[in-house]
Amino acid sequence: MSMEMVAWTSMYHAANAQEDRRPFSMATLRRIAGFAAPHRRRLAAFLLVSVVGAVLAVATPVLAGRVVDAIVNGGPIGVVVGLAVLIAVIAVVEAGIGIWQRFLSASLGEGLILDLRASVFDHVQRQPVAFFTRTRTGALVSRLNNDVIGAQRAFSDTLSGVVGNLVTLALTLGVMLSLSWQVTVLALVLLPVFVLPARRMGRKLAKLEREAAAHNSAMSTQMTERFSAPGATLVKLFGRPAEETREFVARAARVRDIGVRTAMVQWVFIASLTLVSALALALVYGLGGYFALSGGMAAGDVVALALLLTRLYAPLTALASARVEVMTALVSFERVFEVLDLPPLIAEPATPIDLPEGPLAVEFDEVRFGYPAADKVSLASLEEVAQLDGRGGETVLHDVSFRAEAGQMIALVGSSGAGKSTIAQLLPRLYDVDSGSVRIGGVDVRGLSFDTIRATLGLVTQDGHLFHESLRSNLLLARPEATEDELWDVLRRARLADLVASLPDGLETVVGERGYRLSGGERQRLTIARLLLAKPRVVILDEATAHLDSTSEAAVQEALGEALEGRTAIVIAHRLSTIRAADQILVLEAGRVIERGTHTELMARGGRYAELHRTQFDQPGEPTLAVAAS
């Protein structure tokens, strides 16, 4: 390795390691060892290869010195040729070991990334909905990318670097001292001139890189938000495109300035260290040459010392920042473990109960519920705040009780914030009740497996979410084993078959981010088709037609008639015309059921339901809604 390469390596490690003065956590180290345990054979081979490579790196300069001595002493030729062949063989072996070392490093690091990512991804999927409503998606994705890769470096770079550098340093120092302790000591005197600028410039470069990363992150956030369909629409309607561009260009210009400054700092740094290395080599040749001419040293030893000098400075500069690199890797591990240590608020029962066959009744029994506080479901670092919001836990449902017999439709109506959607979220266990119970088929939902709940319940919300994938993929999410005939059957029943058949790519048509390539009515009918494909025995409709025009609503209501046929249904409705045929209507206010009965009974009672009905239909000058009942 040339001295210039040593300089680049020193600067890279110093710039990419972030100073952290926290003490080593033995618990973190034990957990890291647990993740490394499945890879222990490969790890042992990796360390062994690193040691062998370090030994060979020191052997070559010593042999080069022997070649020079043989030449100066006039042979014999066989010795010179033999040494040259040996150097060539070592070079070939060293190259092979380098490739093997790189393979082991890559496979070990990538295997660790796979294990960490799989663990974090699986763990995050088991978090409650409250976790995702609070967490910034970008911060969470960063844990799966940047921090996992930072943790991987602990094995692929830092570990092998520390072991290899320690062996190389010990061997190099031993050989150099045996050749000439005077030259070795003087070479070490120049080490601070080499190491200190690397640390100082490295910190300066790290600061510049962090600032550039912050600006790049801000630009990425701006682009992500403004380039999405709703974000672009908002900017066109209410935003100021010229100011948006100026703000983006200002950040991009700052990144440009940082890039220029970083390049200059790098080259000044490299030029300085190259100069120092040249002075060190001059010292070795000058002092070593003096000793050689005065008979106190062989000429080959001078050459060997000059070649060994790079083997001395490289590990010393690397080890100087080794602690920082190790702490940086530990911080990455701790940030990953921080996510893994957040327990899911909703746990699957150890021994799930099976549901009976056939239609199922749904029952809420004296249910009380309050949304969990932030410290129960989130992390300050994932919300990117200094301290979690301490609010939460206030009761929003008060002793709610009702029963929907198998095949019945129960409708929930009331003002915004009355607790209707909260009830819909308790049934599929998106949240757990604080007291009371929610039962399906006589079984508390807390005793059911997640697979059973998914197979039993179907939910359609007012904002039917679709992935940026094909129509087929979005449908098969409900039942991956569905056949082609089954897909077209549910599309026909959802009144979408003609539309899909008219598309050039048919079922392979990509729907766009959140399904924005489809109209609101088409998007809702696709979610209903997905519901039909799942064949749930209990259906929850959370204002599924709230934002549709009359034509789209009529088509969706027709599709919903198919979806609800023969199934127990909980329907949350804003438009009261859609739930007149419900077997029972519950009126909620402030988390309490204040009225219940059929449409006719509640209208005759003249209470809150009748008031809501008059607000929608009977105000002077308001047109009467003509919407088919579900």
Task: Check: CB of residue 103 under 8 Å from CB of residue 339.
Answer: no
Query: With bands split at pLDDT 50, 70 and 90, how would you rate the model's confidence at 10?
Result: low
Query: With bands split at pLDDT 50, 70 and 90, how would you rate the model's confidence at 628?
Result: very low
Name the residue among 209, 284, 188 with its Cα closest to residue 11: 209
Locus of tokens 């010593």: 62
pLDDT at 198 over 80: no
Query: With bands split at pLDDT 50, 70 and 90, how would you rate the model's confidence at 20?
Result: very low
Q: Please name the amino acid found at residue 316.
A: L
pLDDT at 436 over 90: yes
> Residue 41 burial (CB < 10 Å; 0-12/13-18/19+)?
exposed
Q: For all residues of the chain together, what is the average pLDDT?
A: 79
- Quick one: average pLDDT of 460-476? 84
- Quick one: average pLDDT of 13-31? 59
Query: With bands split at pLDDT 50, 70 and 90, how would you rate the model's confidence at 385?
Result: low
Task: Check: CB of residue 160 under 8 Å from CB of residue 50.
Answer: yes
| Close Cβ partners of 20 (under 8 Å, ≥ 6 residues apart) | 324, 327, 328, 330, 331
Work out the percent of the chain whose per-residue pLDDT is above 90: 11
Name the residue among 399, 374, 398 with its Cα closest to residue 388: 374
Work out the percent of the chain whose per-residue pLDDT is above 70: 82
Q: Which CATH superfamily is domain 362-378+391-617 in?
A: P-loop containing nucleotide triphosphate hydrolases (3.40.50.300)
pLDDT at 14 over 80: no
Q: What's the pLDDT tens digit per position in 343-353? A: 888 888 889 99
DSSP state of 516: T
Model confidence, pTM: 0.66
Residues facing residue 412 across a β-bridge: 572, 586
Identical fold for domains 3-340 and 362-378+391-617, yes or no, is no
Q: What's the pLDDT tens digit per position in 122-173? A: 888 888 887 887 777 777 777 777 777 777 776 666 766 777 778 888 888 8
| Close Cβ partners of 396 (under 8 Å, ≥ 6 residues apart) | 369, 370, 371, 419, 422, 591
Locus of tokens 């150097």: 87
Report how far residue 71's alpha carbon sits from residue 65's, in angstroms, rounded to the nearest whole number: 10
Q: What's the pLDDT tens digit per position in 235-273? A: 776 667 788 888 888 888 888 888 888 788 777 777 776
Beta strands across the sheet bearing 443-444: 395-404, 362-370, 435-440, 443-444
Name the residue among 580, 567, 570, 569 with its Cα closest to residue 609: 580
SS3 label, residue 461: strand
Q: What's the pLDDT tens digit per position in 561-594? A: 766 777 898 988 877 777 888 899 999 999 999 9
Query: What CA dihedral angle connects 156, 159, 161 and 162, to 10 degrees?
Result: 170
* DSSP secondary structure letters along 538-584: EEEEESTTTT--HHHHHHHHHHHHHHHTTSEEEEE-SSGGGGTT-SE
Fold of 3-340: ABC transporter transmembrane region fold (1.20.1560)
Report how far residue 515's alpha carbon sits from residue 468's, in angstroms, rounded to the nearest whole number: 7
pLDDT at 275 over 60: yes
Q: What's the pLDDT tens digit per position in 42-61? A: 888 888 888 888 888 888 88
pLDDT at 311 over 50: yes
**Domain residue ranges in the chain:** 3-340, 362-378+391-617
Q: What's the pLDDT tens digit per position in 507-547? A: 898 887 767 778 777 888 888 888 888 888 898 888 766 65
SS3 label, residue 190: coil
What does the pLDDT read at residue 334? 80
b/e sequence 88-104, b meaning 16+ C-beta within 10 Å: eebeeebeebeeebeeb
